[in-house]
Amino acid sequence: MLDDKVVLVTGGTGSFGQKFVEIVLQRYHPRKLIVFSRDELKQFEMHQKFPDGEYPCMRYFIGDVRDRDRLYRAFDDVDVVVHAAAMKQVPACEYNPVEAIKTNILGAANVIDAAIDRGVQKVVALSTDKAANPVNLYGATKLCSDKLFVAGNSYSGQHVTRFSVVRYGNVVGSRGSVVPVFTRARETGVLPITDTRMTRFWITLEQGVNFVLESLERMHGGEVFVPKIPSIRIIDLARAIAPECQIKVVGIRAGEKLHEVMVPEADAWHAVEYDDYFMVLPVTESGGIQNYARQTGGRPCPDGFCYGSDTNPQWLSVEELRSMVGLAEVEAID
């Protein structure tokens, strides 16, 4: 799929971007693989990890998605863009709301314009479960971003560019993961838990990258792809990491939910279920959803359906979590 293509990943020095580059280099032979980010130190470190002699396709662009002109330069001759750049720390977004809007919303608009005008063929934008029924600014900005990318297909008109969105849950091994928080707290003998009832969707970095690559191949434009992934209970995660520690309930923080949602009830009427993922179709396609589902081997989601972390039929046990954390712990700590 990506052989002899020019591929660019925004936010390419982040947790997702680094794993994406690693997997793409293992499986494909892109003509160029461009890392676009504003962090020169991390770009330098990636350059050491993927040296020119071994990976001649690698390129590095210093830039910010807020900078429209720089995006136009970076997107020149690019075939595929994976948009992973974002402000995603909930407290940082709450404290710096205008900055979050500039990066997550206006930055998304810049990516759309640059992709269309430079003739990029496919763009996949990374989203989050926080964007479904958002209660914090991060989720609200990502919901706006999702809407922009879906609408970008109409904006593109007769141009070749097509846009889709991938939405998934908490990533074990990413920066900001609760895993390193619990790991550090283990030394004190007390683990802070917001609420013993709290649940979250759970996915590894590699699973996230794989799903993005699968969605790139499936996409026609306008879809929001949601993987079927397991849920965890935060209390189980705490027990998996530090079974010997005392649990201290500290209460839900501002901007947090007790449970997360990836396909809200309001979207179920234009969503299709497949064996291992959901697809939320653009509203413009909703009139033919029955036919679309039948032609593609899916089934329309029933009225009132909601894909939430608390009602998910898939759950990870303490033992499964312990196994995953054992593999991810080193990655998860900055």
Of 19, 88, 130, 257, which residue is the catalytic one? 130
Beta strands per DSSP E along 154-263:
162-168, 170-172, 190-193, 199-204, 224-227, 231-233, 246-249, 261-263
**With contact defined as beta carbons under 8 Å apart, do 63 and 71 qualify?**
yes
Q: Nearest to residue 12, comparing CAs of 21, 4, 3?
A: 21
Q: Residue 130 catalytic? A: yes
Determine the Cα–Cα distance for residues 220 and 51; give it in Å rounded to an integer: 35
Q: Check residue 106 and report its DSSP letter.
A: I
Which residue bears the tokens 């136009």?
A: 72
Determine the Cα–Cα distance for residues 158 and 170; give it in Å rounded to an integer: 36
3-state secondary structure of 130: helix
Q: Which helix (H) or strand (E) holds 122?
A: strand 122-128
**With contact defined as beta carbons under 8 Å apart, do 167 and 143 qualify?**
no
- The catalytic site residues sit at 130
